[in-house]
Amino acid sequence: MSPPPTLTLNTTSAHLLSLLFSLTYVGSLYISKHSRLSFSSSATTTTNKGDRARAREKEHSERWRDDPDVIRARLFAVCLATTLCCTIFGGVVWCGLGFSWGELPSALSQTLLLLGFSLPISSGEILPHLITPTLFLGPLFSGYLGGQLPFQRNWVWENHVTRRFCTLVGVRNYVVAPITEEIVFRACILSIYHLSGASTLKMIFLAPLAFGLAHVHHAWDTYNRYGRTPSAAKRALFTSLFQLTYTSLFGFHTSFLFLRTGSILPPISAHIFCNVMGVPDLGWELGVFRNRRGAIISAYVAGVVGFVLQR
């Protein structure tokens, strides 16, 4: 990113605004009764011999995360929250830089520039979009071996595209969530820290923690869906810790992309790509393609090396 304008926030103000943006985004999911989840207080589930909880059946009166009406309400809520966060950020820029009403276009231009709303115009701005796919060379190679890549023998348009992307769950997972989360947790929060004069290292490794912590609320969903048992509590705890770690690591990566390019587009494309690919499962891939283990491991190593070199 370019040096911050003459406006410089203090660290405390940056922390408070970062907290405000995070609470605005996550809180938007719970303000309306239509977007809130509801669970039966008496719903429980059985456990097997290993005391491992099984997901229970949904009761008719409950509202779960993947219910169509809940998804619709939450999509509207996060879009509204994202707009509000951008507006608040614009207000900070407006007041901090002392723009007048006659300078509205200039204030808007400065806000959009800081938030990284720009289109790629050269190959140098397109290449950052390839960094994340390079890291996934291993999983992509395994997908190739299984014939799962686009237009291969086991790739079916209806299964891999229509049923995956053209549904409410798909729109949430691969369109609205990546775009809104990156705008709030990357563009708004990182730009606020940028205006505070924070170092690049701090922005890469501290700001993404807000993104990781914003996913902790999913623990309540997991705990209820698995029956509110001790095993359900353990599952919720470990799932949340894993998600916190994974999302924080991912946040480090996308923060670097945003700070390197000054554009929000590479983080958004990286987010969408990672959501599509999911968490790599090297053990499963090595078990399925036993005769290609060396090639798979080599692809994973090449992906990591290529990822590091591109950065």
Single out the residue of 288, 278, 284, 197 nearest to residue 243, CA to CA.
Answer: 278
Compute the chain's Rg from CA coordinates: 22
Q: CB under 8 Å to 57, separation ≥6 — which residues?
A: none
Q: Is 155 left (phi over 0), alpha (psi -120 to 50) or beta?
A: beta
Q: Of 15, 103, 125, 215, which is the active-site residue?
A: 215
Helix, strand, or coil here: 104? Answer: helix
The answer to whether the Cα torsion of 140, 142, 147, 148 is positive or negative is negative
Q: Tell me, yes or no, if 62 is annotated catalytic.
A: no
Single out the residue of 95, 90, 307 nearest to residue 183, CA to CA.
Answer: 90
Q: Tell me, yes or no, if 158 is annotated catalytic.
A: no
Percent helix, strand and coil across the chain, each to the nearest 5? 70, 0, 30
Distances (CA, A) of 141 to 63, 65, 67, 173, 256: 39, 33, 34, 24, 26
Contact by Cβ (8 Å): 190, 181: no
Helix, strand, or coil here: 209? Answer: helix
Element (H, E) at 185: none
Q: Of 181, 182, 271, 285, which is the active-site residue?
A: 181
**What gap in Å lies between CA 284 and CA 281, rounded to an integer?**
6
Contact by Cβ (8 Å): 285, 142: yes
Single out the residue of 257, 213, 206 nearest to residue 22, CA to CA.
Answer: 213
Q: Which residues are catalytic?
A: 181, 215
